[in-house]
Amino acid sequence: MDLKDLYRDVILDHNKRPRNFGKLEPCDSSADGNNPLCGDRLTITLRFDGERIDDIRFEGKGCAISTASASLMTEAVKGLDRKAVENLHAQVHHTLTDHGGALPPAELGKLAALAGVREYPARVKCASLCWHTLEAALAHFGTQGAAATTASVSTE
């Protein structure tokens, strides 16, 4: 196990210069995610174009894995609808937890950089917090008064 497998250049870069960092105001839906065990917190704001994610931002405090994962996720999900996000999330989840050592599928693109996390079970939750938060924001969208309230999700 080499640390460079976990802290790949892409991860370090997205940690240092997170993309889509900040808040969309106004937004169509938002969610707070936190992992009380490690103190990671993030907020995701979304704007929709019909059923598709038109724009997404995140902000918060977390470790390098959690920050980079959120940054990479925001780049990957723009233009996707809920079903496509769910599919992508399932693939990311598989890549984070698969111990068979299979290569991540090509459609993951830059998200494949997170594959090193699978060797560090204690860190899987760092990488997946943003995805759970995004799912909560998607589920929140379309509910009564979604734009004015914030969903929340907690993982441990």
Partner 1 sequence: MSTPGYDVARVRADFPILATTVRGKRLAFLDTAASAQRPQAVIDAVVAYERTSHANVHRGVYELSQKATDAFEGARERVRKFLNAASTREIVFTRGTTESINLVAQSWGRRLGPGDEILITWMEHHANIVPWQMLCERSGATLRVAPIDLRGELDVAAFESLLSPRTKLAAFTQISNSLGTVLPVQRLIAAAKRVGVLTLIDGAQAVAHQRIDVRALDCDFYVFSSHKLYGPTGLGVLYAREAVLADMPPWQGGGDMIRTVAFTGSTWAELPYRFEAGTPHIAGAVGLARAIDYLESLGIEAVHAHEQRLLARATHALRAVPGLRIVGEAAHKAGVISFVLDDVHPHDLGTILDAEGVAVRTGHHCAMPVMDFFDVPATARASFGCYSDDADIDQLVAALGHAREVFG
> What does the block give as tokens for 120?
């560090």
Minimum distance, C-beta of residue 147 to partner 1, in the bound complex (Å): 29
138 conformational bin, left if phi > 0, alpha if psi -120 to 50, beta if neither: alpha
User: For 58-97, where are the alpha helices, taking DSSP H only?
Assistant: 64-77, 82-97
SS3 content of the chain, % helix, strand, coil (to 5): 50, 20, 30
Considering only residues 88 through 117, tell me which ones interact with partner 1, judged by CB under 8 A.
none
Residue 29 vs 67, nearer CB to partner 1: 67
CB of 17 vs partner 1, minimal distance in Å = 12
40 in contact with partner 1 (CB under 8 A) = yes
Residue 124 binds partner 1, judged by CB under 8 A: no
How many residues make contact with partner 1 (CB under 8 A)?
A: 20
- Give SS3 for 94: helix
The reply on whether position 127 binds partner 1 by CB under 8 A is no
Minimum separation from the CB atom of position 76 to partner 1 (A): 22
Give the distance between the most distant pair of CA atoms in the chain.
48
| x-or-dash string of contact with partner 1, 43-82, rule CB under 8 A | ------------------xxxxx-----------------
For partner 1, give the closer residue by CB, 146 or 153: 153
* Helix (H/G/I), strand (E/B), else coil: 117: helix
Report, in Å, the least distance between residue 41 CB and partner 1.
8
Task: Give the pairing type, strands 29-35 and 151-154.
Answer: parallel
